[in-house]
Amino acid sequence: MEEWFSQKRRIFIIDFQFVETAIFDSYFIHQGGIFLSLLHLAIFLPFIMAVFVPFLYKGFRKIHTGWFVLIVPALLFGYFLHFIPTVRENEIIKRTIHWIPSLKIDFTAYLDGLSLLFALLITGIGTLVVFYSIFYLSKKREQLHNFYVYLLIFMGAMLGVVLSDNLISLYTFWEFTSLSSFLLIGYWYQRDGSRYGAQKSMLITVFGGLSMLGGIFLLYNMAGTFSIRELITHKELIMASPLFIPSMLLILLGAFTKSAQFPFYIWLPDAMEAPTPVSAYLHSATMVKAGIYLVARMSPVYAESPVWLWIIGSFGIFTMFWASFNAIKQTDLKGILAFSTVSQLGLIMSLLGVGAAALHYKDMDENIFIVATAAAVFHLINHATFKGALFMVAGIIDHETGTRDIRKLGGLMGLMPITFTIALIGSFSMAGLPPFNGFLSKEMFFTGMVRVTEMDLFSLDTWGLLFPIIAWVGSIFTFLYSIMLFFRTFTGKLQMDKLERKPHEAPAGMLAPPIILAALMIIFGFFPNILTYNIIEPAVGAILPELLEPGEHFVGHISFWHGPGIELFMTIGVIALGVVLYLTLSKWGKIYSWFPDKLTFNHLYDQIIKWLESGAKSITKGYMTGFIRSYLVYIFLFFIVISGVTLITKDAFKIDVSNIAPIGVYEVVLALIIVIGSATILLAKSRLTSIIALGAVGYTVSLFFVIFRAPDLALTQLVIETVSVALFLLAFYHLPPLNKHEKGIGFKLGNALISIGVGVIVTLVAISAHSNKLFDSIAKYYIENTHDKAGGENMVNVILVDFRGFDTMFEICVLGIAALGIFGMIRLRLTNEGGKTNEKK
Amino acid sequence: MLDMVLKISLICISIAMLALIYRVIKGPTIPDKVIALDAIGINLVALIALISMLLKTSAFLEVILLVGILAFIGTVAFAKFLEKGEIIERDRNH
């Protein structure tokens, strides 16, 4: 074994080292700049275009709207291409628009190698997809304006994600991608499957997005900035903080849900209900890579932690295996491609995780782990090319035969020769066969994984062996589904009776984009160093900036033929075992049915949704009984608990008898009458007795006012009591006989306990409040100034109309409203008869 | 001396009121209760008058008048209610 490794180091597939660049001081960072730069305009251009799309659709019905839209990504692609020389020279372009400067939220566009790679992917594949969609979507039947508006929003949002330096603006665009993806998946909203898939992807990605927002705030808490650049400079501070791990986990949750990693991959297969151009664009080439982008982008902040390496590496590699294993049992072309996307994303993710190990070997001529990061970037590009092409092929087959079910397909080779060729290149590249680009990145993947075993940190020397093994097994399944996808569709017998249409070759317009992608696959396969030099080196530099001194940049080289190494033998093993497994599929394919449906994550998701719904429903049903009695119980119990607990915990209860007035006989007698009256109200068997007892209580209260020397209150109380007793009597006549709820002793006891509790608490609070008087009353002012300043003798009335007349005014309003309300209730009765609302007098 | 007399009178009236309240609660028929209430009202007048003498104030004279009026109005209303079943009739011709 040892021999293999040392040998490999010498032949080294991709050979990174450090080179002093000529332009030593060319870090040309533009600060400030309040005005909209061209880069910002590039991000906003799709949004601006989205505004005009509906007008173009209505105004030019004869021209397919896609032709107008095509201008945008093509223009942007050209614009971003011209940055390649700049970025290659390690120049970073930074433009800032102040958005909410007081909250340190700016919209900073930041272009380095990684951003440029993604921007080129987004606009390049975007151009091809728009072109393809012009021929895929019918001008007559489809609502094209909706489609292109959503697609343009997505494109702009995605550009915003990859070009934002400020995490808040990144998050804003991130959610825009979730939203536009939701709209695009649900494009054929009449179908149940589309709505289900759209909802599912929305729930999962927004869940992750919100977690990410939490992580962003934790980062802000630690470093005091939202800018990724500044976060990197504050790395030491962040790593020392106790919030480091929580923020990392939250941000990774966002990345994993977006990039469909295990176990959040379940939304992606259901997102295949979207139109095929959308699947090709969003769900293989761009949006699902936003999570990858985030992981790569945040690597400089987090990657030194072993948790980062372990989580990303292990989740990625397991996703890679699990999804490729599950792809075999799919029968829908797009289903296979969806699982394959998940698997390939897991592969890229695991490479990014393993690449983080490079940071621990600063002595870098021997730094063999950079190759993993380079492989991640390279495979990212390769995956976008072959997956985009394969989705377009699936769309063509669907378009020309009317089905995507591989059980119904077969023998299309002779009928659709061009599609056949593209599919051959695409699926062989996906399987990792030479001479296509997938072969090279698959080899680099193996290199990266094999080298995990060489790491002597984070206990990887013991468990690290699992990485290459899982990677290898996963690759066997990858090979298997790739050739299955290809052979099942194009070879074998043509089953004409099962097809809806007579298949023939697709129109040239539909074939052009996948042909371009297939050409790229071959070009990148034979001349990978076009990419290495222009794109991969700056991108790796952006992911691992720590390893570079200012002015340095990585120099890499991918050779098409790297000599015999362990990777090559692994690939040969993959091919051999894959062929054997393919030929014996009918024998061992049954193992998929052993796996019970109930243990799948889809089932779990459905159950969780169901539990949440039924749980929420039963909780609501449990406490929202519809009886006022229940709500009063909650209110009073809450009152008792809150006041009681406060009284106890704050040690607030206090009895101070120092300033208590002497109690006279009258007070005692009157209090007794009130107690008897109240008891009568509660215990009376007839309603009339209750009303009279209530009146008695009211009159006694007015007597209290008399002996406590409040003549105005006594007057008013008497009149009001009389009027309200009369009103009670008025209502009494119309009421049914008093229906005491004979609910048994438990019910009554509960009521009694609660009412006693409330009474006791209020009494205690009143006593404590009286005993805790902190200040003198302000009444002295009124006594002194009633005559002199307000010109009155009756202090109560002067307070009511002069000192505090505002209260009186609104009390008058209350009475006015009550009177009008009563009038309205009596006079206007809206009844609903025969569907019409009539006014009855 | 006057204080003493006032207090004794107050106690007497209180006892009378308690007896009346017993009648209000117990009273076998509704008119019994109404009459008892009316009497309570008048007793209140006396009570308030006595208290205001005790407190040496003339601020409660309005209260006395008001209780008198209210007791009258209330009793009449009750009587009408018991006789016709409603207090304010809709048809004014009868």
Query: What is the Cα–Cα distance from A201 to A177, expressed in whole angstroms?
Result: 11
Average pLDDT over residues A763-781: 85
Q: In residues, how long is chain B?
A: 94
> Is residue B50 one of the residues assigned to a domain?
yes
Average pLDDT over residues A493-502: 74
Q: Is the pLDDT of residue A762 over 60?
A: yes
**Digit-coded pLDDT (tens) for A38-79:** 888 888 999 999 999 999 888 888 888 889 999 999 999 999
**CB B85 to CB A719 under 8 A?**
no
Using left for φ > 0, alpha for ψ between -120 and 50, and beta otherwise, residue A709 falls in: left
**CB A709 to CB B86 under 8 A?**
no
pLDDT of amino acid A841: 41
pLDDT of amino acid A832: 59
The tokens describing A402, both together, are 């009317």
Give yes or no for a contact between A348 and A448, defined as CB atoms under 8 angstroms apart: no
Closest CA to A336 of A182, A488, A175, A179: A488
Matching residue, tokens 């072969």: A439
Give yes or no for a contact between B55 and B22, defined as CB atoms under 8 angstroms apart: no
Residue type, A648: I
**CB A718 to CB B55 under 8 A?**
no
The tokens describing B1, both together, are 């001396």
- Residue B84 Cα, gap to closest chain A Cα (Å): 12
pLDDT of amino acid A681: 85
**Digit-coded pLDDT (tens) for A581-596:** 888 877 777 777 777 6
Average pLDDT over residues A273-286: 87
> Is residue B43 one of the residues assigned to a domain?
yes
* Residues of the domain holding B36: 31-85
Q: Is the pLDDT of residue A207 over 90?
A: yes
CB-CB neighbors (< 8 A) of A665 in chain B: 7, 11
Model ipTM value: 0.75
Q: Establish if B87 touches chain A: CB-CB under 8 angstroms.
A: yes
Query: What is the Cα–Cα distance from B80 to A730, expressed in whole angstroms?
Result: 12
pLDDT of amino acid A2: 43
Average pLDDT over residues A795-824: 93
pLDDT of amino acid A18: 42
Residue type, A833: E
Reported confidence tier of residue A549, pLDDT bands at 50, 70, 90: low
The tokens describing A29, both together, are 């960072």
Q: Is the pLDDT of residue A720 over 70?
A: yes
Query: What is the Cα–Cα distance from A730 to A722, expressed in whole angstroms?
Result: 12
Largest interatomic CA distance in chain A:
114
Q: Is the pLDDT of residue A8 over 90?
A: no
Query: What is the Cα–Cα distance from A601 to A110, expressed in whole angstroms?
Result: 38
**Digit-coded pLDDT (tens) for A162-187:** 999 999 999 999 999 999 999 999 99
Strand A105-111 relative to strand A93-100, pairing: antiparallel
**CB A714 to CB B60 under 8 A?**
yes
Reported confidence tier of residue A201, pLDDT bands at 50, 70, 90: very high
C-alpha distance from residue A502 to each of A400, A417, A495 (Å): 7, 15, 10
The tokens describing B24, both together, are 């209000």
pLDDT of amino acid A560: 55
The tokens describing A622, both together, are 């449990």
pLDDT of amino acid A252: 92
Average pLDDT over residues A682-687: 78
Give yes or no for a contact between A548 and A232, defined as CB atoms under 8 angstroms apart: no
pLDDT of amino acid A206: 94
pLDDT of amino acid A10: 36
Residues 653-682 of A with CB under 8 A from B: 665-666, 669, 673, 676-677, 680
Using left for φ > 0, alpha for ψ between -120 and 50, and beta otherwise, residue A104 falls in: left
Sign of CA dihedral A444, A445, A446, A452: positive
> Is residue B26 one of the residues assigned to a domain?
no
- Residue A704 Cα, gap to closest chain B Cα (Å): 10
**CB A680 to CB B47 under 8 A?**
no
| Of residues A689, A696, A711, nearest to B63 (C-beta) | A711
Query: What is the Cα–Cα distance from A780 to A777, expressed in whole angstroms?
Result: 7
pLDDT of amino acid A127: 93
Q: Is the pLDDT of residue B43 over 60?
A: yes
Query: What is the Cα–Cα distance from A808 to A238, expressed in whole angstroms?
Result: 59
Matching residue, tokens 């608990």: A641
> Is residue B40 one of the residues assigned to a domain?
yes
| Of residues B40, B51, B85, nearest to A707 (C-beta) | B51
pLDDT of amino acid A22: 34
Q: Could you tell me which residue, A200 or A537, shows the higher pLDDT?
A: A200
pLDDT of amino acid A7: 42
- Residue B78 Cα, gap to closest chain A Cα (Å): 9
Question: Which secondary structure element, helix H or strand E, spans residue A111, and what is its range?
Answer: strand A105-111
pLDDT of amino acid A457: 66
Residue type, A796: V
pLDDT of amino acid A815: 95
Query: What is the Cα–Cα distance from A342 to A283, expressed in whole angstroms?
Result: 9
> Is residue B19 one of the residues assigned to a domain?
no
Q: Is the pLDDT of residue A838 over 60?
A: no
Q: Establish if A693 touches chain B: CB-CB under 8 angstroms.
A: yes
Q: Is the pLDDT of residue A744 over 70?
A: no
Residue of A nearest to B14 (CA): A669
pLDDT of amino acid A833: 55
Indicate which of B4, B9, B13, B24 best probes the interface with A, i.e. most A CBs within 10 Å of its own CB.
B24
Residue A523: Cβ within 10 Å count: 14
Q: Which stretch of A67-71, A567-571, A573-577, B45-49 has the lowest confidence by average pLDDT?
A: A567-571
Q: Establish if A380 touches chain B: CB-CB under 8 angstroms.
A: no
Closest CA to B27 of A553, A689, A91, A696: A689
Average pLDDT over residues B24-37: 85
> How many domains, chain B?
1
| Of residues A665, A676, A719, nearest to B66 (C-beta) | A719
**CB B17 to CB A673 under 8 A?**
yes
Strand A552-555 relative to strand A829-833, pairing: unpaired
> Is residue B8 one of the residues assigned to a domain?
no
Q: In residues, how long is chain A?
A: 841
**Digit-coded pLDDT (tens) for A320-371:** 998 988 888 888 888 899 999 999 999 999 988 888 877 777 655 556 778 8
Residue type, A156: G
Q: Is the pLDDT of residue B62 over 50?
A: yes
Q: Is the pLDDT of residue A449 over 90?
A: no
Residues 695-754 of A with CB under 8 A from B: 695-696, 699, 702-703, 706-707, 709, 711, 714-715, 718-719, 722, 725-726, 729-730, 733
| Of residues B57, B62, B78, nearest to A715 (C-beta) | B62
Average pLDDT over residues A705-712: 87
Q: Is the pLDDT of residue A689 over 90?
A: no
> Is residue B12 one of the residues assigned to a domain?
no
Reported confidence tier of residue A16, pLDDT bands at 50, 70, 90: very low
| Of residues A696, A707, A733, nearest to B85 (C-beta) | A733
Query: What is the Cα–Cα distance from A327 to A281, expressed in whole angstroms?
Result: 20
The tokens describing B87, both together, are 């207090």
C-alpha distance from residue A789 to each of A389, A795, A806 (Å): 91, 12, 18
Using left for φ > 0, alpha for ψ between -120 and 50, and beta otherwise, residue A507 falls in: beta
**CB B60 to CB A718 under 8 A?**
no
The tokens describing A410, both together, are 């077969």
Q: Which stretch of A25-34, A217-226, A776-785 has the lowest confidence by average pLDDT?
A: A25-34
> Is residue B63 one of the residues assigned to a domain?
yes
Give yes or no for a contact between A544 and A114, defined as CB atoms under 8 angstroms apart: no
**CB A711 to CB B51 under 8 A?**
no
| Of residues A680, A715, A730, nearest to B66 (C-beta) | A715
Give yes or no for a contact between A109 and A164, defined as CB atoms under 8 angstroms apart: yes
pLDDT of amino acid A456: 65
% of chain A exceeding 70 in pLDDT = 89
**Digit-coded pLDDT (tens) for A104-152:** 888 888 888 899 999 999 999 999 999 999 988 888 888 888 999 999 9
